[in-house]
Amino acid sequence: MTGELDDKVASLKKKADEIAPPHPREETWNWNSPRQAKEAFSLIGLQIPDLKRENLSKYEHPLAKAVSEYRDTRSLLSQVCKWAAGRYRDGRVHPQWNPAGAATGRASCTSPNVQSLPKGEGFRGCIRPGEGHVLVKADLSQIELRVLAAIAEDENMLKVFRSGGDIHLNTAEALASRKVKKGDPERQKAKAVNFGLSFGMGAKKFKEMAERDYEVRMTLSEAKEAKHKLLDAYPRIGHWHAREGLECERGNFITETLMGRRRVVEPDYQGKPSFTERLNAPVQGTAADILKLALARLWENWSEHQGALPILTVHDEVVLECAAEDAKVTARWLSGILRGAVEDVLGHPELAGEDAIETTTAPSWEV
């Protein structure tokens, strides 16, 4: 698979070279050099600020698309090639785990970085259990929005979770002022709103994020209107924003998760505590605390399920390996442990319903 990716990188470079204007010094363009790339783009009348994907995606010119695809594919190749230097023993990969490697408190790993393997490229399919075994995967579903509901204490959000409803669908109906079905494009827009505007993103930055990450296009005025409608639907989010904004004005850099773990946030360009970090830190940090509490309880109860071995913890996901015949029992055990951790940390039983955890039994990490 790495060999195929290597061939694809070479093909994409050739494509970019063919679209590009002739090099003024009769050399080959180096698309990994910002200076050379900017020079090439200037020759076709484009003044690009940098080579970031979000900036290249703003241009319709085929060279911008070709260079962006080449750089993304080359970056992926660089990631997966590092697996060759990974820690292997007896057919297993043994990454180096750092339990609090991310600033949010989530775990990170290196040598190799398992968490960086992308979805949908087939590489996760290389992570497979031993013969006669399966992987049992559990995801904390919409955990950041559940944490947000608890921190903001927004009764409208809690009501949606209490009824087993879909928070994205509820937001979509608030934005559209009408009933919306699960497959409607309005729900995709609502996901962008929930994960962007809820956490303090400004209208301009949100507009760019929605297009880049969710393929949702809107004008600046539509982005501003979306924020007003979001805060009308969930008024306590607005109160939370105001409260954290006041802490920024006071120069308070210390935030805490619901379990009391502290984090010092970064300053903004004015030297004050970053507003978006003050919002994000306790939410993402609390989600990390929930996962760690669950892992601790899995270990404490492991004597009853010694055939189930933890394989991965990736963001809001836990993956165990167990014998195929034990899959159902293991899935129930894992789901129960995670739901208990959600309820104990957030303090709201409705946020730890059956829909809070999605479990899957699969022959590989890709499925």
Q: Which tens digits make up the pLDDT trace of 199-243?
A: 999 999 999 899 888 989 999 999 999 999 999 999 999 999 999
Residue 185 lies in a domain: yes
Q: Are residues 302 and 346 in the same domain?
A: yes
Read off the pLDDT of each residue in 177-181 and give the average, rounded to a whole number.
92
Query: Given this model, what pLDDT does residue 84 score?
Result: 61
Planar angle of CA 345, 349, 353, nearest 5 degrees: 105
Among positive and negative, which fits the CA dihedral 213, 83, 13, 366? negative
Domain endpoint, select from 272, 301, 333 = 272
DSSP state of 117: P
CB contact at 8 A, 258 and 289: yes
Do 265 and 303 have their domain in common? no
How many independent structural domains does the chain possess?
Answer: 3
Three-state DSSP class for residue 320: strand
CA 179/CA 174 separation, integer angstroms: 9
pLDDT digits (tens, 9 = 90+) for 351-367: 999 999 999 999 999 98
* Residue 242 covered by a domain: yes
In a domain, 367, yes or no: no
Domain that holds residue 65: 2-83
pLDDT at 44 > cutoff 70: yes
Tell me the C-alpha distance between 354 and 367, whole Å.
Answer: 21
- Residue 113, domain CATH: 3.30.70.370
Residue ending a domain, among 83, 112, 131, is: 83
Give a yes or no: residue 230 inside a domain. Answer: yes
163 and 263 housed in the same domain: yes
